[in-house]
Structure 1
Amino acid sequence: MLSKDLLQDLLERTQENKNKAEGLKTLPSETLNWKSSPDSWSILECLEHLNRYGDFYIPEIEKRMASSQQRPAENFKSGWLGNYFAKTMLPQKKLNKMKTFKSMDPIGSTLDKEVLTKFISQQQALINLLNKSKEVDLTKTKTGISISKWIKLRLGDTFRVVIYHNQRHMAQAERVLKEAGRLSAV
């Protein structure tokens, strides 16, 4: 795949996530914190989960890009593990549920609209990193991952995992919003 095509796709996905989050800022706190059951996530919990991952990945990507000696390459070649992780993160029609790590699970947290502000800021940081990444090799530059310090992914795959994960949980937040809207309309 051409590196420029991958980056363009990821930029568009990230801008869409940012725009959706900006739209959520207009909602009342009650809607943002509404849950269909005690063990499900609210809209704010969905985004807080993403913020926690962003707190790891944004600095990790910045650090690895800053220290990369790799010149940009025209093509990006996904690694088998990175491609697997990225594909599992893509939102599906029928969502394949995944267990999250305790440290990344926001359930029961007291959250306010600051979660949205932080998420929007992280999306802008990702946009900036995607633009800067045109100066490095997306295949040869490697990043650590949040679940293991021994596993490294190609930078292009790391971007895919993070951005697809963001999309996945934005879709979840939209489902929660629809459900909350249906119930309040009754």
Structure 2
Amino acid sequence: METINKIALLERLDDTVELHIADAVALFQNRDNAFLNRPSATGGWSITQCLDHLNSYGHYYFPRMREKLLSAPHVDKEDFTSTRLGAYFTRMMDPVTGKRKYKAFKGHIPPPGMDSVEVIAEFLRQQEELLFLLREGLHKDLDAIRIPVSILPFIRLKIGDVFQFIIAHNERHMQQAKRNLVPQSIY
């Protein structure tokens, strides 16, 4: 378990979310539906499916996080200590440390052929909400707020761990989506 500066953590996560928004706008937003729904050359998900998968997690986590953050007292605690389980989940999803492929859980498997305009608009809306939640977290105790895990609701992670997991998961699938832009691309 590692204790880190809360402000530095949230600023780093905020920067990553800002990058995801910029990439989604620059790389995906003005592409046609057929291109965005084209399956990966390796048989994986299309760009739209990658983003819809992320949206499914946002639909679960963000309302719960918002409710807990807005009802939590204002606290000027400077540090956050990740749990072993939270750090493990984050390492699993991080594209640098989690090289293994995972099968998506039921309820998070995106169908083919979706409306890419709607999926991208929802992704951007959710990323803006995530920025709001991160910024709310600046004045809250990230160790005290617990959020149930989507696949195992009886497990409740610290909200600081949930932030790290969600953003690592987002990065993993943003990289996957970007690989679909050009076959054999550098992403």
TM-score, with structure 2 as normaliser: 0.90
Larger helix percent: 1
Output the amino acid matched with 2:177.
A
Query: Would the aligned equivalents of 2:41 and 2:180 in 1 still touch at CA under 8 Å?
Result: no
- Deviation at residue 38 of structure 1 after TM alignment: 9.0
The alignment-based identity, stated in percent, is 34
User: Partner residue of 1:130?
Assistant: 134
Query: Would the aligned equivalents of 2:41 and 2:183 in 1 still touch at CA under 8 Å?
Result: no
The count of residues paired between Structure 1 and Structure 2 equals: 182
Query: Would the aligned equivalents of 1:29 and 1:113 in 2 still touch at CA under 8 Å?
Result: yes
Output the amino acid matched with 2:72.
S
Asked if 1:20 corresponds to 2:23, the answer is yes
Counterpart CA distance in 1 for 2:63 and 2:158 is 16
Counterpart CA distance in 2 for 1:22 and 1:110 is 18
Aligned Cα RMSD in Å? 2.1
Extract unaligned runs of 5+ from structure 2: none
Counterpart CA distance in 2 for 1:180 and 1:31 is 16
Between 29-38 and 123-132, the greater mean CA deviation after superposition? 29-38
TM-score, with structure 1 as normaliser: 0.90
Query: Would the aligned equivalents of 2:37 and 2:112 in 1 still touch at CA under 8 Å?
Result: no
- Deviation at residue 118 of structure 1 after TM alignment: 0.5
Extract unaligned runs of 5+ from structure 1: 182-186
Query: Would the aligned equivalents of 1:73 and 1:137 in 2 still touch at CA under 8 Å?
Result: yes
Query: Would the aligned equivalents of 2:57 and 2:108 in 1 still touch at CA under 8 Å?
Result: yes
What are the superposed Cα offsets for residues 35-93 of structure 1, whole Å, 9 maximum, x if unpaired? 13695200000000000100011101111112324723111110000010011111138
Counterpart CA distance in 2 for 1:155 and 1:17 is 20
Q: Secondary structure at the match of 1:100?
A: coil
